């Protein structure tokens, strides 16, 4: 028997077929058929208070699960509000599908009201963007969108469903959904693995770099075995944190700064960097120079050459397979790594500094240390963007992948709270917290209402300095006068309470960790306002490091 459904229902059936559990968004009248189709489906609609919140949540679902997250917006203003999320997913390599509405494409009595070229706008920020016009092709278009969003390098895709197309009838039997194919990634050839092993054997100070592309569940185990078997020392980019246990004996730091940190002493000494999964979307962890150290690029795809990145050998193919085969080809390395060991001792001593400092406002080192004390190894902290991100990247030692979510690709402000909400939604049993500045938090703070409505358990930490601190620090580093970056703040504790969340303010350093513990134990949505002493940025991140250590 033939069943007649409409195109919106067919689209939702295709989403169900892909295993979609939730769609995040702010619908408009152009999405009403889709909304109705969602109502009667197995997919949950998660309403947010801004399309950015929806896109960040969906992209974080993609980041944490490897499966595309789906968000929904109307045409025009709804679609433009998704764009920061599109850039976030595309640069960050988080699989994301955005669905937007559009006015009818055949006849419409509304002139050009709210109509902009959304598909055209999406072009530079997505891997695939398409207006759905032929109802019978919807299952194929959806399958293709998911395939591209997920395929290495993952990213953002977009489908536009015009109002009249959404309402069009279709016989369900004539437009079946597609079985999901499983693609196996190509593997690097034997010759290049042998070449890479020979280069590593030939190097005196080989050093391993773990970047964002290595932060895939499949790659982590292979990398751990590689580090253990080879004895190589490693450092990470911000988005490679936690792939290999950073409390282990071979961790030399996270390159949160591009130069002048402890790790750069080790990099300066290295004659070869084996770069697993780094690509140029992240701020350079170090700068390559002509005639300088050599680099082996191990990634899913070949290197995008840049003035600061032009590797000599490229091992292209599934990273997990490349690393496993490299482990076997290399065996244990017999090297004198005592220089790296000494850098590590200096780094470890530095990371212990001021972690118990009782000063108020709190030192950034104390804040990071207290968070680390209260958040267990499998807890998740998600950071917005501000200068505290550098402190957390350097000082917070992660032991498992995806336990510190940093965005070092688009590095947008405003994603910290929504990404935390998605982590809390996915893992209700874990301790999950957002780390935000007083600038970035207010860019999407309205999502506190969503968090309370969803009944999430999470803590939002506001690191308060009354300024756009990151920019102020850069201004200072450039020798410019302190100008134009200070602002006022609401009473954050009261602000949280207005949303039905719990609001707290720290007034002594000693109170912070117990308060954080209390918030996690109590459950629900908590906000903690912590005043910070950013004079530490000027001292530690600018002046001291290199001279102190590199001569060891
Ligand atoms: C959407 C967006 N706007 C501007 C910037 C540039 N930017 C980077 S960090 C920063 C300041 C962040 O201030 P805050 O959230 O208070 O954190 P702080 O640096 O003070 O710790 C700015 C303006 C950005 N990354 N994203």
**Chain mean position to CA 84:** 13
Say what the pTM is: 0.96
Residue nearest to atom 16 of ligand 1 (CA): 439
Mutation pick for ligand 1 pocket among 468, 489, 533 (CB with most ligand atoms within 8 Å): 468
* 538 alpha carbon – ligand 1 mean position (Å): 17
| pLDDT tens-place string over residues 281-339 | 887 788 888 888 999 999 999 998 888 889 999 999 999 999 999 999 998 888 899 99
* 537 alpha carbon – ligand 1 mean position (Å): 15
The pairing of strands 69-73 and 44-47 is unpaired
- What is the Cα–Cα distance from 127 to 487, expressed in whole angstroms? 38
Q: Which atom of ligand 1 is nearest to the CA of 534?
A: 21
| Ligand 1 residue neighbourhood (C-beta within 6 Å) | 385-388, 411-414, 437-440, 463, 465, 467-471
* 440 alpha carbon – ligand 1 mean position (Å): 6
Instruction: Confirm if 43 and 21 have CB atoms less than 8 A apart.
Output: yes
Return the percent helix, strand and coil in the chain, to nearest 5.
Answer: 45, 20, 40
Question: What does the H/E/C string look like for 177-208?
Answer: CCCCCCCCCCCCCHHHHHHHHHHHHHCCCEEE
Full DSSP string of 15-56: HHHTT--EEEEE--GGGHHHHHHHHTSSPEEEE-SSHHHHHH
Mutation pick for ligand 1 pocket among 55, 368, 387, 439 (CB with most ligand atoms within 8 Å): 439
- Both tokens of 477, joined, read 């580093």
Mutation pick for ligand 1 pocket among 50, 83, 385 (CB with most ligand atoms within 8 Å): 385
- What is the Cα–Cα distance from 316 to 276, expressed in whole angstroms? 10
* 323 alpha carbon – ligand 1 mean position (Å): 36
CA neighbor of 129 nearest in space, from 105, 152, 154, 159: 159
* 470 alpha carbon – ligand 1 mean position (Å): 6
Query: How many secondary structure helices (H) and strands (E) does the chain include?
Result: 23, 20
Instruction: Confirm if 462 and 434 have CB atoms less than 8 A apart.
Output: no
| pLDDT tens-place string over residues 260-269 | 888 989 999 9
Instruction: For residue 170, count other CB atoms closer than 10 A to its CB.
Output: 17
* 386 alpha carbon – ligand 1 mean position (Å): 5
Residue nearest to atom 9 of ligand 1 (CA): 386
pLDDT of residue 438: 98
Task: Report how far apart, in Å, the C-alpha atoms of 140 and of each of 135, 429, 452 are.
Answer: 10, 37, 38
Q: Which atom of ligand 1 is nearest to the CA of 441?
A: 15
* 286 alpha carbon – ligand 1 mean position (Å): 23
- What is the Cα–Cα distance from 375 to 516, expressed in whole angstroms? 9
Q: Which atom of ligand 1 is nearest to the CA of 465?
A: 20
* 354 alpha carbon – ligand 1 mean position (Å): 25
Mutation pick for ligand 1 pocket among 440, 445, 482, 490 (CB with most ligand atoms within 8 Å): 440
At CA 80, angle to CA 166 and CA 156, rounded to 5?
75
pLDDT of residue 112: 77
**Chain mean position to CA 187:** 26
Task: Report how far apart, in Å, the C-alpha atoms of 199 and of each of 170, 225, 271, 272, 294 are.
Answer: 60, 20, 10, 8, 9
Q: Which atom of ligand 1 is nearest to the CA of 532?
A: 21
Instruction: Confirm if 199 and 294 have CB atoms less than 8 A apart.
Output: yes
* 457 alpha carbon – ligand 1 mean position (Å): 26
Mean pLDDT for back-to-back runs of 10 residues, the chain (552 residues): 91 98 96 97 98 98 97 97 98 97 82 86 98 96 97 96 96 90 89 97 96 87 95 95 96 88 91 91 83 93 87 95 96 90 93 96 98 98 97 96 95 98 98 98 98 98 98 92 98 98 98 98 98 85 57 58
pLDDT of residue 547: 60
* 250 alpha carbon – ligand 1 mean position (Å): 33
- What is the Cα–Cα distance from 472 to 211, expressed in whole angstroms? 28
- What is the Cα–Cα distance from 25 to 230, expressed in whole angstroms? 47
Residue nearest to atom 25 of ligand 1 (CA): 412
* 129 alpha carbon – ligand 1 mean position (Å): 30
CA neighbor of 525 nearest in space, from 417, 464, 448: 448
């Amino acid at each position: 028997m033939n069943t007649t459904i409409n195109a919106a229902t067919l689209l939702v059936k295709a989403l169900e077929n892909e295993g979609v559990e939730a769609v995040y968004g702010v619908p408009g009248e152009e999405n009403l058929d889709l909304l109705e189709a969602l109502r009667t489906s197995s997919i949950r609609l998660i309403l947010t208070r801004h399309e950015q919140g929806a896109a960040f949540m969906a992209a974080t679902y993609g980041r944490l699960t490897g499966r595309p997250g789906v968000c929904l917006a109307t045409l025009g203003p709804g679609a433009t509000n998704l764009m920061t999320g599109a850039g976030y997913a595309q640069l960050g390599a988080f699989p994301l599908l955005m669905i937007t509405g559009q006015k009818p494409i055949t006849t419409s009595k509304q002139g050009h009201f709210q109509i902009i070229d959304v598909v055209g706008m999406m072009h530079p920020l997505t891997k695939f963007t398409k207006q759905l016009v032929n109802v019978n092709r919807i299952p194929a278009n959806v399958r293709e969108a998911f395939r591209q969003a997920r395929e290495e390098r993952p990213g953002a895709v977009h489908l536009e469903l015009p109002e009249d197309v959404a309402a069009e009838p279709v016989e369900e039997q004539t437009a079946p959904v597609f079985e999901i194919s499983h693609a196996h990634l190509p593997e690097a050839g034997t010759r290049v693995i042998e070449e890479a092993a020979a280069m590593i054997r030939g190097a005196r100070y080989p050093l391993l770099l773990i970047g964002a592309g290595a932060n895939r569940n499949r790659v982590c185990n292979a990398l751990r075995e590689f580090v253990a078997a080879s004895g190589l020392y490693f450092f990470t980019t911000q988005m490679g944190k936690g792939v290999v246990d950073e409390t282990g004996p071979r961790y030399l730091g996270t390159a949160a700064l591009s130069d002048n940190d402890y790790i750069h002493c080790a990099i300066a000494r290295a004659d070869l960097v084996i770069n697993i999964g780094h690509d140029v979307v992240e701020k350079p962890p170090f700068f390559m120079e002509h005639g300088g150290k050599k680099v082996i690029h191990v990634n899913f795809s070949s290197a995008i050459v840049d003035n600061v990145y032009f590797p000599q050998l490229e091992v292209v193919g599934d990273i997990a397979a490349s690393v496993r085969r490299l482990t076997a080809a290399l065996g244990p390395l017999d090297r004198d790594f005592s220089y790296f060991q000494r850098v590590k001792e200096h780094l470890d001593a530095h990371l212990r500094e001021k972690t118990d400092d009782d000063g108020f406002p709190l030192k950034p080192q104390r804040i990071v240390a207290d968070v680390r004390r209260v958040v267990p190894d499998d807890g998740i902290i998600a950071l917005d963007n501000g200068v505290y991100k550098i402190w957390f990247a350097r000082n917070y030692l992660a032991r498992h992948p995806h336990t510190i979510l940093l965005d070092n690709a688009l590095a947008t402000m405003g994603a910290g709270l929504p990404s935390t909400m998605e982590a809390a939604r996915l893992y209700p049993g874990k301790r999950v917290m957002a780390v935000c500045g007083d600038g970035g938090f207010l860019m999407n703070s309205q999502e506190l209402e969503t968090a309370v409505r969803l009944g999430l358990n999470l803590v939002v930490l506001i690191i308060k300095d009354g300024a756009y601190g990151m920019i102020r620090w850069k201004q200072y580093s450039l020798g410019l006068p302190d100008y134009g970056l200070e602002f006022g703040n609401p009473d954050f504790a009261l602000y949280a309470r207005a949303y039905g969340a719990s609001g707290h303010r720290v007034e002594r350093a000693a109170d912070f960790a117990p308060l954080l513990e209390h918030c996690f134990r109590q459950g629900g949505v908590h906000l903690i306002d912590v005043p910070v002493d950013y004079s530490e940025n000027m001292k530690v991140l600018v002046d001291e490091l290199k001279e102190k250590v590199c001569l060891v």
